């Protein structure tokens, strides 16, 4: 399995050590854990709350900000296959790390894996689905996510 991860920063993650490397590592770990074979591409945008709010309103009809947005493409044709686009909210990386009492690196890793699982078909609308997704996230994160 080969996955190419394109990362673009509209807003830098100054409080995270090597954020680009961490995002790529998390995307690859999630793809590997889900047993993907072949070549894939994912695009990741890191931006601020206001931009996430705009995108959420425009593409999902929800007038609120959120920590991540995932836009799966389900592209079955071509090589490499396009898995989709991820938008990470830099402001939420900082605030949720503070709220949950762990590092910004840990929060960025969690949000990246969470987004990748959305691209791969996971959801958390129902409680059983939320528990299943959370188990997958923790399993993937245990070997890669920075502690603390």
Domains (range + CATH), the chain: 2-144 (3.40.390.30)
Render 30-72 in DSSP notation, one character per residue.
Answer: HHHHTT--SEEEEEEEEE-HHHHHHHHHHHH---S--SEEEEE
| DSSP strand pairing (81-89 vs 2-9) | unpaired
Give the model's confidence band at 80: pLDDT under 50 very low, under 70 low, under 90 confident, else very high. confident
Percentage of residues in the chain having pLDDT higher than 70: 95
Burial classification of residue 36, based on how many CB atoms lie within 10 Å of its CB (0-12 exposed, 13-18 middle, 19 or more buried): middle
pLDDT at site 54: 98
Write out the two tokens for 20.
């680009």
* Residue bearing tokens 């931009």: 51
Q: Which of 30-34, 72-76, 128-132 is the least confident region?
A: 72-76
What spatial distance separates the first Cα and last Cα of the chain, rounded to whole Å? 30
d(CA 20, CA 24): 6
Q: In this predicted model, what pLDDT tens digit does every residue of 95-131 receive, in sequence order? A: 999 999 999 999 999 999 999 999 999 999 899 999 9
pLDDT in tens, 12-26: 999 999 999 999 999
Give which of 104, 140, 124 is closest to 26, Cα–Cα.
140
Q: What are phi and psi of 9, to 5 degrees?
A: -110, 105
Give me the pLDDT at residue 145, please: 55
């Amino acid at each position: 399995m080969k996955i190419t991860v394109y990362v673009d920063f509209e807003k830098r993650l100054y409080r995270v050590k090597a954020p680009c490397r961490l995002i790529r590592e998390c995307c690859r770990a999630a793809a590997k854990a889900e047993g993907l074979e072949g070549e894939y591409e994912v695009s990741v945008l890191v931006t601020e709350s206001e931009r996430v709010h705009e995108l959420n309103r425009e593409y999902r009809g929800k007038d609120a900000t959120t920590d991540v947005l995932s836009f799966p493409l389900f592209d079955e044709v071509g090589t490499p296959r396009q898995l989709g686009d991820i938008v990470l909210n830099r402001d939420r990386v900082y605030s949720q790390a503070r709220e949950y009492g762990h590092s910004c690196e840990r929060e960025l890793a969690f949000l990246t894996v969470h987004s990748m699982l959305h691209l791969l078909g996971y959801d958390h609308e129902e409680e059983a689905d939320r528990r299943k997704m959370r188990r997958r996230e923790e399993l993937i994160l245990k070997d890669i996510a920075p502690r603390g």
